[in-house]
């Protein structure tokens, strides 16, 4: 491959991990959907409803991108102490937002499902799923803040490693809980909550 400028290797070093992080999430969703799909139509419909509700969390990605911009500005100016301080602030803010949203989703799960338009057994499944997954939401938000800081200091490899590891753990736990323990859709939810998957942002 012919280089066009001296910055191409640096751009490639940043772009490849970012591309890998973007590709990891859809692959996990495909596997997760296949696992739940074997449980039945009601469970799959419930997963879709819960995913629709959780997709609202994507609006909080500003916690990551704003952190990246602020930290990158400080880091680029050689103000490493300020960069670390901004990173710590982002983590605390992300945790606070995550705790509030987790409590809200857990308490209002039936109402949230009703807004999506699901009824009957699928609605019950979806509400249960949301309540369980809510346990992992604070960890997900901490990951947002952490990824924002790491990207701000030009470390895109660590977020990729975390995302891939989390997805592998999620899949392993889901297979164990859904098929091994026969927990059904709740097993999928527990796998997501314990694995702290960032899939909430993509669904």
Kindly state whether residue 9 falls inside one of the protein's structural domains.
no
Angle between helices 185-195 and 120-133 (to 10 degrees): 20
pLDDT of residue 30: 85
* Chain segment 56-95, per-residue pLDDT in tens: 998 999 999 999 999 999 999 999 999 999 999 999 999 9
pLDDT score recorded for residue 197:
53
Structure-token match 């995913």, residue found: 51
Query: Quick one: DSSP state of residue 5?
Result: S
Residue the block writes with tokens 């987790």:
102
Greater confidence, 84 or 25?
84
CA atoms of 66 and 152, how far apart (whole Å):
10
**CA quadruple 173, 175, 32, 158: dihedral, nearest 10:** 40
Number of other CB atoms surrounding residue 144 within 10 Å = 26
Asked if 145 and 90 count as a contact pair (C-beta separation under 8 A), the reply is yes
Q: Is residue 13 over pLDDT 70?
A: yes
Residue 159 in tokens: 């977020």
- Total of domains in the chain: 1
Tens of pLDDT along 101-116? 999 999 999 999 999 9
Give domain status of residue 123, yes or no. Answer: yes
Question: What range does the domain containing 51 cover?
Answer: 29-201
Q: What is the DSSP-derived secondary structure letter of residue 176? A: I
- What value does the mean pLDDT of the chain take? 89
Residue count of the chain = 203
* pLDDT band of 14, cuts 50, 70, 90: confident
Q: Is 7 inside a domain boundary?
A: no
In a domain, 162, yes or no: yes
Does residue 201 surpass a pLDDT of 60? no
Residue 10 lies in a domain: no
Find the Cα–Cα–Cα–Cα dihedral 37, 43, 47, 53, rounded to 10°. Answer: 160
15 is a domain residue: no
Alpha-carbon distance 104 to 124, whole Å? 17
Nearest-angstrom CA–CA distance, 179 and 197? 20
Q: Residue 120 falls within a domain, yes or no?
A: yes
Is residue 2 assigned to a domain?
no
């Amino acid at each position: 491959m012919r280089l066009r400028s001296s910055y191409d290797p640096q751009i490639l070093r940043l772009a490849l991990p970012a591309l890998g992080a973007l590709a990891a999430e859809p692959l996990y969703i495909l596997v997760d959907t296949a696992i739940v799909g074997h449980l039945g139509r009601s469970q799959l419909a419930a997963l879709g409803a819960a995913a629709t509700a959780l997709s609202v969390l994507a609006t909080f990605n500003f916690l990551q991108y704003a952190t990246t911009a602020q930290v990158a500005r400080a880091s680029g100016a050689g103000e490493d102490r300020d960069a670390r301080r901004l990173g710590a602030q982002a983590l605390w803010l992300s945790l606070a937002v995550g705790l509030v949203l987790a409590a809200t989703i857990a308490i209002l799960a039936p109402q949230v499902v009703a807004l999506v338009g699901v009824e009957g057994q699928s609605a019950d499944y979806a509400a249960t799923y949301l309540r369980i997954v809510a346990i992992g939401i604070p960890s997900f938000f901490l990951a947002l803040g952490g990824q924002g800081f790491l990207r701000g200091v030009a470390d895109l490899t660590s977020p990729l490693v975390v995302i891939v590891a989390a997805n592998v753990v999620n899949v392993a736990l889901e297979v164990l809980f859904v098929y091994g323990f026969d927990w059904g859709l709740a097993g999928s939810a527990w796998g997501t909550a314990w694995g702290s998957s960032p899939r909430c942002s993509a669904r």
